[in-house]
């Protein structure tokens, strides 16, 4: 949530900030602002609405923002509505300091009261503004006690360290000051911050997309650390001022990967990239002796053998990937596997110990609910394996081992290609656990892996045949609601289809286990209601297939319009399907990799037919860094 960029170097800070913000806008888009240090002054401009509003205001303003030190922000509102006044950057009483922030400062009310009591005038409703005024006070104190600062210590850096010591909550803060044009200073706690190291220029940002056009050399910043960025590099300390090292890494994708590449929307591009994304997730994962290759492994094979229970924690779409994984993990490993929304996990005191494996799934690696679940699990001594798409993000760093999904940057707020990557990664972990625990033989694992390796081709075939799905979606533009039904792994797919439709088309959509329908939700069926049914393969689990065919008939009997997703060759469903969407045949546990695809296309097309922006749906942000 909230996109942040700070810059110091030889280029126009304004231009760098705007280019960065265009790439970060998916993180929050209800207001935007910039601040640039110009000739001993600080110039700021802020506007409610999308970045385009700020750009328009900049084009109209007389005030030059032509310095080489500056910051920029796109906001997802928490405290105070999306107005010009609440937009970042925020300044102190003297307009000397500019602050941008991602996160929530939980003790801001008390801090604000103290500041107002001390004579400060705060103009916005935000929690962020207190930081600017606290910095003003700390800098004044440092000036008074000038001699107490060690030589070479920048007062702004020291002031930020002191302020951070007084803050509770989650935050990334980036700060500039009119009297300190040679530094941009930043701090983080439970909120993302990465450094970009260029030649004679340094970037600070929420994620690497902000500076990928300038450099691919990045530095991970640890928890509770302060970074002083200069043109020639950075100094990092903890909040107490002790020097620490950042972890350097090279970003393995370039700027073109974060561009639309000829598509009108990122989401359309990302849907079409799914065969490649899936292939990249799977590539090189199993060694010749069928050992799974994790990216960062601080767990031994013996640790995996000692596991006696699995928990999966995640949010939203990632949670749906976890629900699919449960079927595979339990079937292949015979270990009990629970799947839990990360936001609920730590509050119910789950039973965890060192023989519990917690799998945390997150595209961004920054979702605060998931991060807090990971921290809780580790405090209880559980082993934590992260499945993540973003190198250098917090969740992998806080986990014992990582499997990166390698799907490349996902800019559309709705997850698509990374969902397939997450499902595939979970399946690999399930197979690995089964193998090390001796539940599946090597040749059985190899057979599954072979079928998995074929899925990118099946996804490509599915994408090649979705044109009728688009036409169907357009025909339902005026529908009031859509229900989604599934059984077994088709149930999480139904949930995912409903989530996509809610978030993109703002329609009432619900996913149900098809068998549960008669226990209540069937009352929702009325003539003409579109009901999407994800049908399991008639091969393999034929009892399931028979049951869902009955469920289709139940809704048809009550006048619903049945939209059936079924595999090639399944003729049994034909008489009951008003609209039949065909997908290639796959083993049951792998089927979500293909059955989800038409549902993504359906939701995207319906939203477009309603004239909506599928990349930036209202009220949402790509990376949810508040609880
Ligand atoms: O970055 P994460 O995977 O941790 O994000 C979790 C959810 O916020 C996310 O999956 C969200 O539900 C999707 N954008 C929905 O498409």
Looking at domain 260-453, its CATH superfamily turns out to be Glucose-6-phosphate isomerase like protein; domain 1 (3.40.50.10490)
Q: What is the rounded average pLDDT of the residues 415-432?
A: 96
Query: What's the number of CA atoms in the CB half-sphere (13 Å) around residue 313?
Result: 32
Is residue 549 pLDDT above 70, yes or no?
yes
Does the C-beta of 128 come closer than 6 Å to ligand 1? Answer: no
* Averaged pLDDT, 37-59: 95
CA–centroid distance, 433 to ligand 1, in Å, is 26
415 lines ligand 1 (CB under 6 A): yes
Across 447-456, average pLDDT: 92
pLDDT tops 80 at residue 293: no
* Residue with CA at minimum distance from ligand 1 atom 10: 317
- Residue 411 confidence (pLDDT) above 80: yes
C-alpha 206/C-alpha 193 separation (Å) is: 5
* Highest averaged pLDDT of the listed ranges 54-68, 304-318, 444-458: 304-318
What b-and-e string marks burial along 567-593, b requiring 16 or more CB atoms within 10 Å of the CB?
A: beebeebeebbebbbbbbbbebbbbbb
User: Which pLDDT score, from 0 to 100, does residue 298 have?
Assistant: 77
Count CB neighbours of 324 within 10 A: 30
Please give the residue that has the higher pLDDT: either 444 or 463: 463
pLDDT of the residue at 292: 67
Q: Whose CA is nearest to atom 14 of ligand 1?
A: 414
Establish whether residue 315 lines the binding site of ligand 1, counting it when its CB lies within 6 angstroms of any ligand atom: yes
For the four alpha carbons of 163, 164, 166 and 169, in that order, the dihedral sign comes to positive
DSSP H helices, 29-76, are 51-60
Answer yes or no: is pLDDT of 287 > 70.
no
Is residue 574 very low, low, confident or very high in pLDDT (cuts 50, 70, 90)?
very high
For residues 211-239, give the mean pLDDT.
96
287 alpha carbon – ligand 1 mean position (Å): 30
- At residue 542 the predicted structure's pLDDT band, cuts being 50, 70 and 90, is low
Tokens of 353: 């110990």
Say if residue 381 is exposed, middle or buried (CB neighbours under 10 Å; 0-12, 13-18, 19+): exposed
Backbone angles phi, psi at 86, to 5 degrees: -85, -10
Cα(132) to ligand 1 centroid in Å equals 31
pLDDT in the model for residue 289:
64
Residue 13 has pLDDT above 90, yes or no: yes
367 lines ligand 1 (CB under 6 A): yes
* pLDDT tens per residue, range 363-383: 999 999 999 999 999 999 999
Q: Is the pLDDT of residue 300 over 90?
A: no
Strand, coil or helix: what is 473? helix
**If you average pLDDT over residues 94-98, what whole number do you get?**
97
467-609 in CATH: which number? Answer: 3.40.50.10490
Indicate which residue's Cα is closest to atom 12 of ligand 1.
316
d(CA 251, CA 389): 12
In whole angstroms, what is the distance from residue 230 CA to residue 216 CA?
18
Q: What per-residue confidence (pLDDT) applies to 410?
A: 94
Residue nearest to atom 11 of ligand 1 (CA): 316
The predicted model gives 33-61 an average pLDDT of 94
Q: What topology is assigned to 3-257 in CATH? A: 3.60.20
What does the pLDDT read at residue 592? 98
Predicted pLDDT at 288: 64
Mean pLDDT of all residues in 448-452: 90
CA distance readout (Å), 108 to 101, 130, 168, 223: 13, 7, 8, 21
Average pLDDT, the chain: 94
Residue 343: CB within 6 Å of ligand 1? no
Protein residue whose Cα sits closest to atom 9 of ligand 1:
316
Residue 28 is predicted with a pLDDT of 80
Q: Where are the domains of the chain?
A: 3-257, 260-453, 467-609
Equal CATH topology for 260-453 and 467-609:
yes
Testing ligand 1's pocket by substitution, the residue of 270, 389, 415 carrying the most ligand atoms inside 8 A of its CB is 415
Which pTM value belongs to this model? 0.90
Residue 624 in contact with ligand 1 by CB distance below 6 A: yes
Is the minimum distance from the CB of 413 to ligand 1 under 6 angstroms? yes
Contact 393, 418 (CB under 8 A): no
What value does the mean pLDDT take over residues 520-529?
A: 94
Q: Report how far apart, in Å, the C-alpha atoms of 104 and of each of 26, 178, 345, 368, 380 are.
A: 19, 26, 21, 11, 26
Please tell me the distance between residue 416's alpha carbon and the centre of ligand 1 in angstroms. 10
* pLDDT value of residue 253: 85
The answer to whether the bond into 89 is cis (omega within 30° of 0) is yes
Per-residue pLDDT of 116-137, as tens digits, reads 999 999 999 999 999 999 999 9
Asked if residue 198 has pLDDT above 90, the reply is yes
Task: Please compute the mean of the pLDDT values over residues 419-432 and round it to a whole number.
Answer: 96
Residue 117 burial (C-beta neighbours within 10 Å; 0-12, 13-18, 19+): exposed
CA of 350 to the centre of ligand 1 (A): 23
Residue 551 has pLDDT above 70, yes or no: yes
| Ligand 1 closest atom vs CA 419 | 10
Residue from 3, 21, 1, 397 nearest 225 by CA: 397
317 lines ligand 1 (CB under 6 A): yes
pLDDT of residue 626: 84
Q: Whose CA is nearest to atom 8 of ligand 1?
A: 316
Say whether pLDDT at 590 is over 80. Answer: yes
**Four-residue CA torsion sign, 287, 291, 296, 297:** negative
Mean predicted confidence (pLDDT) in 268-293 = 86
Span from the CA of 397 to the centroid of ligand 1 (angstroms): 19
| Share above pLDDT 70 across residues of the chain, in percent, rounded to a whole number | 98
Q: 192, 318, 615: which to mutate for ligand 1, most atoms within 8 A of CB?
A: 318
Counting beta carbons within 10 angstroms of the beta carbon of residue 225, is it exposed (0 to 12), middle (13 to 18) or buried (19 or more)?
A: buried
What pLDDT is stored for residue 169 in this prediction? 94
pLDDT in tens, 247-266: 999 998 888 888 888 999 99
The set of catalytic residues is 2, 622
Asked if residue 219 has its Cβ within 6 Å of ligand 1, the reply is no
Mean pLDDT, rounded, for 466-479: 97
Please report the pLDDT score of residue 290 as a whole number.
Answer: 60
Smallest Cα–Cα separation from 127: which of 157, 160, 94, 170?
Answer: 170
Residue 357 C-alpha to ligand 1 middle, in angstroms? Answer: 22
pLDDT for position 291: 65
Confidence grade of residue 491 (pLDDT, cut at 50, 70, 90): very high
């Amino acid at each position: 949530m909230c996109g942040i960029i700070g810059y110091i170097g030889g280029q126009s800070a304004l231009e760098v900030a705007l280019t960065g913000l265009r790439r970060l806008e998916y993180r929050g888009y209800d207001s935007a602002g910039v601040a640039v240090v110009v000739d001993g002054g600080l110039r700021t401009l802020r506007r409610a609405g999308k970045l385009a509003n700020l750009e328009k205001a900049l084009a109209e303003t007389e005030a030059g923002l032509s310095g080489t030190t500056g910051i920029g922000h796109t906001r997802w509102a928490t405290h105070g509505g999306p107005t010009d006044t609440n937009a970042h950057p925020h300044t102190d009483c003297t307009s000397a300091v500019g602050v941008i922030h991602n996160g929530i400062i939980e003790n801001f009310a008390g801090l604000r009261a103290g500041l107002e009591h001390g004579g400060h005038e705060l103009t916005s409703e935000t929690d962020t503004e207190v930081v600017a005024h606290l910095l003003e006070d700390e800098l004044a104190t440092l000036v008074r006690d000038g001699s107490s600062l060690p030589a070479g210590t920048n007062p702004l850096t020291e002031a930020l360290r002191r302020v951070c010591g007084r803050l509770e909550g989650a935050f990334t803060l980036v700060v500039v000051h009119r009297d300190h044009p040679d530094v941009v200073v930043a701090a983080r706690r439970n909120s993302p911050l990465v450094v970009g190291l260029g030649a004679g220029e340094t970037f600070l940002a929420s994620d690497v997309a902000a500076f990928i056009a300038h450099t691919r050399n990045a530095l991970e910043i640890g928890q509770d650390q302060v970074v002083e960025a200069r043109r020639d590099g950075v100094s990092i300390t903890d909040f107490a001022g002790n020097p620490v090292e950042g972890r350097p890494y090279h970003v393995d994708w370039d700027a073109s990967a974060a561009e639309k590449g000829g598509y009108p929307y990122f989401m359309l591009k990302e849907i079409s990239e799914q065969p490649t994304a899936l292939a990249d997730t799977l590539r090189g994962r199993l060694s010749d002796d069928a050992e799974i290759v994790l990216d960062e492994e601080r767990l031994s094979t013996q640790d995996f053998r000692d596991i006696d229970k699995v928990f999966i924690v995640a949010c939203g779409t990632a949670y749906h990937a976890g629900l699919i994984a449960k079927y595979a993990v339990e079937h292949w490993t015979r270990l009990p596997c629970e799947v839990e929304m990360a936001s609920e996990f730590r509050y119910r005191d789950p039973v965890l110990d060192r023989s519990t494996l917690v799998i945390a799934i997150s595209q961004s690696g920054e979702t605060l609910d998931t991060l807090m679940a990971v921290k809780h699990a580790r405090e209880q001594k559980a082993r934590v394996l992260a499945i993540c798409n973003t190198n250098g993000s917090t969740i992998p760093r806080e986990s014992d081992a990582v499997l990166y999904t390698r799907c490349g940057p996902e800019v559309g707020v709705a997850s698509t290609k990374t969902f397939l990557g997450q499902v595939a990664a979970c399946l690999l972990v399930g197979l690995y656990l089964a193998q090390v625990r001796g539940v599946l033989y090597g040749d059985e694992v190899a057979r599954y892996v072979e079928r998995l390796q074929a899925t990118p081709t099946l996804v490509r075939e599915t994408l090649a045949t979705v044109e009728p799905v688009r036409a169907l979606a357009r025909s339902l533009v005026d529908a009031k609601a859509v229900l989604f039904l599934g059984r077994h792994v088709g149930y999480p797919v139904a949930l995912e289809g409903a989530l996509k439709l809610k978030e993109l088309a703002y329609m009432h959509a619900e996913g149900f286990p098809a068998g549960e329908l008669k226990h209540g939700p069937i009352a929702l069926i009325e003539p003409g209601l579109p009901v999407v049914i994800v049908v399991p393969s008639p091969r393999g689990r034929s009892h399931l297939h028979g049951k869902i065919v009955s469920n289709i008939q139940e809704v048809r009997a009550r006048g619903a319009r049945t939209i059936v997703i079924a595999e090639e060759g399944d003729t049994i469903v034909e008489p009951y399907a008003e609209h039949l969407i065909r997908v290639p045949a796959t083993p049951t546990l792998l089927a979500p990799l293909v059955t989800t695809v038409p549902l993504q296309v359906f939701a995207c097309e319906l939203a477009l037919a309603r004239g909506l922006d599928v990349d930036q749906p209202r009220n949402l942000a790509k990376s949810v860094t508040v609880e």
